[in-house]
Structure 1
Amino acid sequence: MPVPSTESNNSPKPEPGSAPPPTPYTVFQNGQIRSIVALCALAGFFSPFSAFTYFPTLEYMTADLGVSLQMMNLTITMFIVVQGIIPAVLGDVADQIGRRPVYLLVLIVYFLACIGLALQRSYPALLVLRMLQSAGSSGTIALGIMVVANLAPPHSRSRYVGAMLSGPNCGPSLGPVIGGVLAERAGWPWIFWLLAILGGFCFAVCLVLLPETCRNVVGNGAYTARGRFNRALVNTLSPRTHKGSPDGGVNLSHNLRRCPNPFTCLKILVRRHDALLLTSNSLFYATYSCFHAGLAPLVMSRYGLNALQAGLCYLAYGVATISSLYLVGKTVMDFDYRATARSCGITINVVSGDDIASFPIERARIRSLGYFIVVGIAATLGFGWAIERHAHLSVPLVMLFVCGVTYTAIFNTCLTLNVDLHPTGTGLASVAASLMRCVAAAVGVAILQPMLDAVGPGWTFTFFACLSGLSVPMLLILRILGPSWRKCSSVNRELGSES
């Protein structure tokens, strides 16, 4: 979609017959972009954090509410189901009316749901409010990816995707620790009070500071959004804008009249390159989910740890995740992008962003991914068999750390490539990825405990390592054939018309 020029009336006029200056990809300054991404990381933190703080409370809530553990597990299942469905609606809406209004909507829903959960004392209320809590938190990660795509050109996008994902990736590590402490010391309602306080704070900050970034609404940021809820109360993070919409540029009239279609993202899943990429990402996400679901019960039963000690074991993965996000995003992926451009004789356009339609982006993103996949699979095997053979606790924790580094690099790469492949349909692409991940996580966690009971952790994680290994041929095919498939199917033009 055309974006407005950011030239002011006082800027020097180009010489007659000379080429006009290139239109910048975004008019947001680097400091503003970093602050906006930090807000998105904070908002994205709540979805996994809400899920993982809940686990230590299950036994306490089972006794207080007088229900079985199986009924409590239903609340987890429904949380995951809603987590996969709601982003399908929110992504389409965010592409139409903007990111900021949707952010404010989901955060206020999350805040109110957490207050209700802290006050409720019945199972039906718990089930309904957990679904409402999931609805409020589940869209924040996909929204964050959309914002990054609006702000960061392809050559620097990976580092911002990694920074945005630092929030969501802290949730699984901090959640069990904080949840265990609060459940034992203050009682399980205080977990939800804490979530309400944090959610309310995030809503207030976003209400005051978060600007609109959707290119359907503000172009490259040079134009003022027309909607009341699209404008921040304080313009600290907003660029200087022109009033109105650019001629031939942003036109919202047709978008605002279209009813959101949650099934639009399914069109992405049937395309060859998207199916390969999202399936590969989902296979690793299933294994990742099983790590987190199985870690506490395994170390408690095999090593005699209590709930708080088991929660501390999750910190190994959390430290690895943060390290990988910044190391891989800022060094490996950026280096691969520049090396690919150099080998193809392409000059990187740091102003307007590169034309991905003519750039071998699959080759650039997947260039070093094989190393992380091999090491990650080996660490998965090591984790399972270390617990199976009752090795010292440090051994599975080291394996968990290695998995944290490699799996995070894989997720970061796949999500960045997913955004690269859909420059005008990032909402639908992010939603499709979220849907696939949630389906994979639900299936993986559902079969985890029966497999552990039947064959033990060694063979269970051998199975998941082999399952993750299926992504290798998929990504290899995508790297080789992806560029030609994109040219044949004209993916960018199709998604541009859909969004």
Structure 2
Amino acid sequence: MTLSPLRLRLLIASLLTVSFLGALDHTIVATSLATVAGELGALEHMSWVVVGYTLASTVLLPVLGKLGDLVGPRLVFLTSLVVFLAASVACGFAQDMTWLVVARITQGMSSAGIQLMSQTIVAHVTTPRQRPKYMGVIGAAFPIAILVGPVLGGLITDYWGWPWVFWINIPFGLAALGLAVFAVPHVEVGAPRRFDVAGAVSFSIAFVALVLAVTWIGDPAAASAAVVAFTISAIAFAAFFLIELRAVEPIVPLRFFANRTIAAGTALSAIIGVGLFSVTAYLPTYFQMAYRTSATVSGFVPIATVFGMLVANLSTGWLASRTGRYRVYAIGGTSLAAAGLLVMSLLPVGTPLWVPMAVMFVVGVGTGSFMSLIVAVVQGAVPRNETGTITATVNLVRQMGATVATAVIGGVIGVGVAARLPASLDASTLTPQLVHGSSADVQAQVAQIYGDVLAPVFAALALAYALGIVAAVLLPSGRLSDEHEPAADVATEPLTA
């Protein structure tokens, strides 16, 4: 499908705005959480404002991806955007925590639709050769949201009040909606097809149970509940795979993975979630404890990481569209990230802060080199009427990898630090402020403990990226095509021209 240059620019502007709003709602709420929980009187349920959003957006990915293929991405995108704006209004008017959590879950569900359909629509209106450039622009929304979200959330909360953290979506969202109504094209979906209800239900049960299990596993009081949740998850996943093998229109077609491009690309996407997204949340705490920095200064390292990701994401998207080459960026990116995380595992505690900042910038560059590019490459390996499904699958494995690995790393840090702390310190009340106010000997001891606990974590993540190098090498070589024609058969390798 070919659009005029003006309509294509308006479309990309609309998709970028909406993608940014969806990504921003992952990050902008963090700095207002304490204020929200205090005013609504439900501090114990505070985490569900974030967890509910993330869980809902992940669970709905395969469902909305398949719906995009069945009814067209335009309808799913516009509906998701309208629901997202309505949920944003509801969040700001919340009178209690239950109201807010339900509205946030609705926001998360609709966020999955706008993020996913943005990538799907780009795939429908561009050739494989053009796609990386535009996918890189859309993909830039996530790192920009990480950079500005917490600061913007704090400023809005302090000067306008926390409801405006949600209401700020309305004017920008309405402008994007106006552009989208004009610019997003209708996509022919062909004859009506059956929706895989059983697959959607079994996957939702399996994933929710898995997230609850890995969340509870570190709490001795919830150990039995974690075992039950793991059991339910295992049974539901087994049922899901059996259903997908037999379904006429599976939400995750397992036959896709017979294609080397799809199998390698999906593995690379999972490694991004496991290898980098999972540890980013813990970097500030690590540097506050191990390097004895303030909360503000500790934020420089994840900022450097995300900035590297942003620069590489835009650069490689432009280069891949210009040259048609894509495999070299995946190989180089995974190699850079693996080397950077290995260096992080070997850095002695007390190294000047600019050193880990530089190292994590390199890790960000490595990840950004193929973060959006790999989605564009995999989209070119399926027929057009399966674009939403494969886009959802690639995003799903990334989200699942990040969610599960984040919980695992949090448990490793919690258990490892608690086991090594001296008797004079209580792990449940340990804060950076408490450590910084202690004696120099205690500060040095805690710093070394965090260094000892995080070193093997960084090494394990480096190993994950090393596996990514193998997946990148397995990608078929060749160039992205300049043709709009869809792949005729998912078992072929249609990227070479």
TM-score (norm 1): 0.71
Q: Which of 88, 91, 98 matches 1:117?
A: 91
Residues 177 and 308, structure 1, Cα contact 8 Å, conserved in 2 = no
Distance in 1 (alpha carbons) for counterparts of 2:80 and 2:311 = 29
Structure 1 residue 213, shift from structure 2 partner: 4.8
Contact kept, 8 Å, 1:118 with 1:193, in 2: the verdict is yes
Query: Which shows bigger deviation, 74-83 or 49-58?
Result: 74-83
Name 1:327's counterpart in structure 2.
315
Q: Please say if 1:491 is aligned against 2:490.
A: yes
Query: In the alignment, does 2:439 pair up with 1:440?
Result: no
Q: Which residue does 1:471 correspond to in 2? A: 468
Secondary structure (helix, strand or coil) at the match of 1:139 reads helix
State the one-letter code of the partner of 2:304.
A
Residue 282 (structure 1) shift? 0.8
User: Residue 40 of structure 2 corresponds to which residue in structure 1?
Assistant: 65
Q: Assess if the C-alpha contact under 8 Å between 1:141 and 1:168 holds in 2.
A: no
Structure-2 separation of matches of 1:121 and 1:448: 35
Write the deviation string for residues 465-494 of structure 1: whole angstroms up to 9, x where unpaired.
21222222233334389xxxxxxx94169x
Equivalent residue for 1:265?
Answer: 251
Rounded to whole Å, the distance in 1 between the matches of 2:196 and 2:177 is 24
- Which residue pairs with 2:15 in the alignment? 40
CA displacement 1:193-215 (0-9 Å, x = unmatched) = 223443333323323x323152x
> Aligned match of 2:142 in 168, 178, 187?
168
8 Å Cα contact 1:93-1:260 kept in structure 2? no
Q: 1:140 to 1:286 in 2, by over 3 A?
A: farther
- Residues 182/49 of structure 1: CA separation in 2 closer, same or farther (3 Å cut): same
Distance (Å, rounded) in 2 between the aligned partners of 1:275 and 1:131? 31
Q: Which residue of 1 aligns with 2:126?
A: 152
Check whether the contact 2:62–2:252 (CA below 8 A) recurs between aligned residues.
no
The 2-side partners of 1:312 and 1:106 are apart by: 34
Shift of the 93–332 alpha-carbon distance from structure 1 to 2, 3 Å rule, reads: closer
- Deviation, structure 1 residue 398: 2.1
Matches within 5 A, 1:212-227: 212-214=185-187, 216=188
Residue pair 1:148, 1:157 contacting (<8 A) in 2 also: yes
Which of 332, 340, 345 is matched with 1:379 structurally? 340
Distance 1:468 1:94 in 2: 32
Instruction: Give the equivalent residue in structure 1 for 2:328.
Output: 367
Instruction: Pick closer, same or farther for the CA change 1:385–1:130 going to 2, 3 Å.
Output: farther
For residues 95 and 310 of structure 1, the distance between their equivalents in structure 2, rounded to whole angstroms, comes to: 44
1:323–1:405: 8 Å Cα contact kept in structure 2?
yes
How far residue 446 of structure 1 moved from its aligned partner, in angstroms, is: 0.6
Mark the CA change 1:293 to 1:197 in structure 2 (over 3 Å): closer, same or farther: farther
In the TM superposition, residue 61 of structure 1 has moved relative to its aligned partner by 3.2
**Pair 1:393-2:353 in alignment:** yes
Q: Helix, strand or coil: the match of 1:411? A: coil
Give me the whole-angstrom Cα distance separating, in 2, the residues matched to 1:36 and 1:306. 42
Residues 473 and 317 of structure 1: CA distance in aligned 2, closer, same or farther (over 3 Å)? closer
8 Å CA contact retained: 2:123, 2:387: yes
Quickly say closer, same or farther: Cα 1:142–1:406, change in 2 above 3 A. same
1:101 is matched with 75
Q: SS at the partner of 1:476?
A: helix
Q: What's 2:176 paired with?
A: 202
Q: Is the 8 A contact 2:28 2:152 kept in 1?
A: yes
Name the CA distance, whole Å, in 2 between partners of 1:180 and 1:297.
19
1:278 equivalent to 2:278? Answer no
Partners of 1:172 and 1:28 lie apart in 2 by 31
Q: Contact 2:329–2:369 at 8 Å: present in 1 too?
A: no
In the alignment, structure 1 residue 287 sits paired with structure 2 residue 275 = yes
Instruction: Determine helix, strand or coil for the equivalent of 2:282.
Output: helix
Match of 1:407 among 367, 380, 396: 367
Question: Compared with structure 1, are the counterparts of its residues 478 and 328 closer, same or farther at alpha carbon in structure 2 (3 Å cutoff)?
Answer: closer
- Distance, in Å, in 1 between the alignment partners of 2:411 and 2:196 is 39
CA–CA distance in structure 1, aligned partners of residues 252 and 25 of structure 2: 27
SS in structure 2 at match of 1:138: helix
CA 298–115 in structure 1, closer or farther in 2 if over 3 Å, else same: farther
* Closer, same or farther: CA 369–185 of 1 in aligned 2, 3 Å: same
Q: Is the Cα contact below 8 Å between 1:88 and 1:428 reproduced in 2? A: yes
CA distance in 2, matches of 1:176, 1:110: 20
- What does residue 420 of structure 1 align with? 380
CA distance in 2, matches of 1:295, 1:201: 36
Partner residue in 2 for 1:30: 5
Q: Cα distance 1:42–1:463, how it changes in 2: closer, same or farther (>3 A)?
A: same
CA distance in structure 2 between the aligned counterparts of 1:385 and 1:201, rounded to whole angstroms: 49
1:305 and 1:115 map into 2 onto residues whose CA distance is 38
Structure 2 residue identity aligned to 1:119: F
TM-score (norm 2): 0.71
- The 3 A distance-change label for structure 1 pair 323 and 477 is closer
* Matched residue type, 1:414: I
Deviation of 1:312 after TM superposition, in Å, equals 6.0
Distance 1:198 1:471 in 2: 38
Q: Which piece of structure 1 moves more, 286-295 or 442-451?
A: 286-295
Q: Distance in 2 between matches of 1:61 and 1:382?
A: 39
Query: In 1, distance between residues paired with 2:14 and 2:305?
Result: 23
Secondary structure of residue in 1 paired with 2:60: helix
C-alpha distance 289-267 of structure 1, shift in aligned 2 (>3 A): same
Q: How does 1:217-366 map to 2 (within 5 A)?
A: 252=190, 254-255=191-192, 258-259=194-195, 262=200, 264-268=250-254, 271-272=257-258, 273=260, 274-302=262-290, 314-332=302-320, 334-335=322-323, 337=324, 364-366=325-327
Query: Which amino acid in 2 is paired with 1:102?
Result: V
Give the secondary-structure state (helix, strand or coil) at the position aligned to 2:351: coil
1:145 deviation in Å?
1.7
Specify whether residues 132 and 308 from structure 1 end up closer, same or farther in structure 2 by C-alpha distance, changes over 3 A only: farther
Show CA shifts across 1:401-446 (max 9, x none). Answer: 2222221112123212111111421111001112211211110111
Structure 1, 468-477 or 150-159: larger mean CA deviation: 468-477
1:23-52, CA deviations, whole angstroms, 9 ceiling, x for partnerless residues?
xxx431334323322321221112321111
Is 1:52 aligned to residue 27 of structure 2? yes
Mean CA deviation greater in 89-98 or 438-447: 89-98
- Separation in structure 1 between the aligned mates of residue 35 and residue 293 of structure 2, nearest angstrom: 18
Question: Would the aligned equivalents of 1:91 and 1:428 in 2 still touch at CA under 8 Å?
Answer: yes
